[in-house]
Structure 1
């Protein structure tokens, strides 16, 4: 019975994360069309991405307050029900300040889904969390693959970008229903079991705040999420502006990249039981760094395609493996997961805005080179994390 309840929670979290992947990536896929139709600058468009990341950060503070006050079911259902409303508002192309407000709420939804999914899977699977978290994040990659792919197909068939968004409105509404009908009894039992430990100071005693390893992992995620948010938001625009590929090829390539990310997370799920998590993080950081440097240093279409695919493959396992690596430090603590999410979200807020501002002056192709700093720091921090554990 417990196994069935675990499976039911895991499957629904995977579906919710898959929809979240579609909802996030569709913004990047339609961004060139929004920029053109709304007549906004790269800086303003970068602001939309950053505001969404701000919402993701605010979820780290708001959602943990909502859960004890209103319960898990009501909190996550209310938050996910906001997604279709935000998408509907975006299709109207309202004034820029209103669009910022829409993207702020949209980011709150994404952050809430991230917190509930990671915390739930971490809690119900204990020692097997690393593999399950990679599978969970693989489901995000499935949705992230589908959004640019569907956008490319529908645009090729002559449909406008709004047709893609209308489809997402329906899909995000089904996600809210899924969370609203999920069985939360096992999660509530785990929370009750953890309560004595929380009060004794061993579980919720916030000891992780004194841990160097916790901050090292958090900073890896800080710089990683800056890169990921730029892939989500800027890479379709970036690839189109390289001048070596068509709009359809660029959108399809980003979609294929997320298909490769899905494969990479499956590989990481398999390796998580055979390798130290810190070693797996370092291996992925090095591989993604090599591919990124190749990506930004060539104008050859075959090499760009190969580099972006390799970049996605190695980048795939960093986030879920870091979450699993931090799991023993924050197990049973919604506050701990929220702090980790908050620190990482800051990277996702700052980086797209910096890239967008630079793009107005030097062009988006040159501005993407800023991500070299993030990639180098992810590698260095991953090496420090592994060495310290040894």
Structure 2
């Protein structure tokens, strides 16, 4: 039953990734069809991100009230309805309206399932879970590409993804008994609780943000997602304008970065059998930092490709391992709320740090790109190591 439920969760994460890359892939056709300005896509992205941040922040209370299964089902249903709304939208106004539930649904699914897997499954499942998100994010544009050659065919792409989401919502609905059975089988006795867990849970009335180390964890998530999104958004521009590569070659090199990230997460699932989350986080951060340094130094062009691949491989284990560490770091009582905070801050990083670099680059030069990547990774590494020091002291409340 546990494995069957895990398959349902994997499917849910594929569905979470499917809509994430749709807007960018379809926007050139959408804006022409509805007469929207080019920059409107940025506004839609911000609205979706805002909804995701809000739902992540409130997810702790909502999930405690209704449970992970019901929240996931309702959120996927909300996402499916929003995508169906995109299909019917006659103007940019209605796309704005539909972007609100799209963001709200995505944030709740992300937070609920990440915390559930962190509590009930081993670390390798968390890494593979995020690999399945990559599968969804990869196939979203592929599905859309099959439709955007005809007039208004982008709508058929959104309808197809919406249909997949409704089908998943039906699977989640019928899986409710499965969630209940697994929950009963996972009941724990006090004898199975570790001394560390008892220490973390000794005061259930402590507010999550009062737990020492939470703010450092949030800082790590902010800069992790800032790095991941910044490299993906501005990597090609750096290669074209600074390294003098063609746009096609630059795009291909950046695709190797995403490939390194996705493949790295799949491989991390196997490595977790031999190494701890903390060690993988540290190794990943150092690897990414070395890769960023290769972009700073005046090496030949092939070394830049190595740098992008190293950044991707380095970032691969960090996010899923940090998520999986949440109950261990801060206790199971507060893990759901803290997970919501972490997801909200992560989305904040991916929303605002890439535009920050773009704004500064517009006033200077895109050559600052690798220096910002080094800075972001360094802050993430320092905050993570400081958190590890606090954890070793085992005095987290204060």
TM-score interval, normalised by the smaller of the two chains: 0.7 to 0.9
Q: Per the alignment, do residues 367 and 280 of structure 1 end up closer, same or farther by CA in structure 2, a change over 3 Å counting?
A: closer
Instruction: Look up the match of 1:122.
Output: 118
CA distance in structure 1 between the aligned counterparts of 2:151 and 2:251, rounded to whole angstroms: 15
Secondary structure of the structure 2 residue equivalent to 1:184: helix
Q: Per the alignment, do residues 281 and 184 of structure 1 end up closer, same or farther by CA in structure 2, a change over 3 Å counting?
A: same
Instruction: Look up the match of 1:260.
Output: 260
CA distance in structure 1 between the aligned counterparts of 2:143 and 2:82, rounded to whole angstroms: 20
Structure 1 residue 364 displacement after superposition: 7.8
Q: Per the alignment, do residues 83 and 240 of structure 1 end up closer, same or farther by CA in structure 2, a change over 3 Å counting?
A: farther
Structure 1 residue 57 displacement after superposition: 1.5
Query: Is structure 2 residue 342 aligned with structure 1 residue 346?
Result: no
1:73–1:179: 8 Å Cα contact kept in structure 2? Answer: yes
Structure 1 residue 320 displacement after superposition: 0.9
Flag the structure with larger Rg. Answer: 2
CA distance in structure 2 between the aligned counterparts of 1:22 and 1:131, rounded to whole angstroms: 22
Instruction: Look up the match of 2:194.
Output: none
CA distance in structure 1 between the aligned counterparts of 2:227 and 2:385, rounded to whole angstroms: 18
Query: Is structure 2 residue 133 aligned with structure 1 residue 135?
Result: no
Structure 1 residue 207 displacement after superposition: 6.9
2:52–2:104: 8 Å Cα contact kept in structure 1? Answer: yes
CA distance in structure 2 between the aligned counterparts of 1:163 and 1:251, rounded to whole angstroms: 27
Runs of 5+ in structure 2 lacking a partner?
A: 191-196, 393-398
Query: Is structure 2 residue 147 aligned with structure 1 residue 146?
Result: no
Instruction: Look up the match of 1:51.
Output: 47
Q: What is the aligned counterpart of 1:19 among 12, 15, 22? A: 15
Q: Per the alignment, do residues 180 and 307 of structure 1 end up closer, same or farther by CA in structure 2, a change over 3 Å counting?
A: farther
Choose between structure 1 and 2: higher helix proportion. 1
Structure 1 residue 350 displacement after superposition: 2.5
1:240–1:250: 8 Å Cα contact kept in structure 2? Answer: yes
Written as runs of structure 1 = structure 2, the 5 A alignment for 1:253-332 is 257-294=257-294, 305-328=305-328, 329-332=330-333
CA distance in structure 2 between the aligned counterparts of 1:94 and 1:358, rounded to whole angstroms: 36
Written as runs of structure 1 = structure 2, the 5 A alignment for 1:14-93 is 14-31=10-27, 38-41=36-39, 44-90=40-86
Q: Per the alignment, do residues 25 and 307 of structure 1 end up closer, same or farther by CA in structure 2, a change over 3 Å counting?
A: farther
Written as runs of structure 1 = structure 2, the 5 A alignment for 1:229-244 is 229-230=229-230, 234=233, 238=237, 244=245
Structure 1 residue 134 displacement after superposition: 1.2
Instruction: Look up the match of 1:179.
Output: 172
Structure 1 residue 338 displacement after superposition: 2.0
Structure 1 residue 104 displacement after superposition: 3.2
Structure 1 residue 294 displacement after superposition: 4.3
Determine which structure has greater relative contact order: mean sequence separation of CA pairs < 8 Å that are 6+ residues apart, divided by chain length: 1
2:293–2:370: 8 Å Cα contact kept in structure 1? Answer: no
Secondary structure of the structure 2 residue equivalent to 1:63: helix
Q: Calculate the aligned-residue CA RMSD, in Å.
A: 4.2
CA distance in structure 2 between the aligned counterparts of 1:54 and 1:209, rounded to whole angstroms: 21
CA distance in structure 1 between the aligned counterparts of 2:299 and 2:153, rounded to whole angstroms: 30
> What do the CA deviations read for 1:151-196 (whole angstroms, capped 9, x no partner)?
567779999655543432232222222322222204644897699x
Structure 1 residue 68 displacement after superposition: 4.6
1:145–1:255: 8 Å Cα contact kept in structure 2? Answer: no
Runs of 5+ in structure 1 lacking a partner?
A: none
1:53–1:107: 8 Å Cα contact kept in structure 2? Answer: yes
> What do the CA deviations read for 1:56-111 (whole angstroms, capped 9, x no partner)?
21112443343354454433222111223323444567655654443332222221
1:13–1:117: 8 Å Cα contact kept in structure 2? Answer: yes
Number of residue pairs aligned between Structure 1 and Structure 2: 378
Normalising by structure 1, we get a TM-score of 0.77
CA distance in structure 1 between the aligned counterparts of 2:56 and 2:379, rounded to whole angstroms: 24
CA distance in structure 1 between the aligned counterparts of 2:138 and 2:305, rounded to whole angstroms: 16
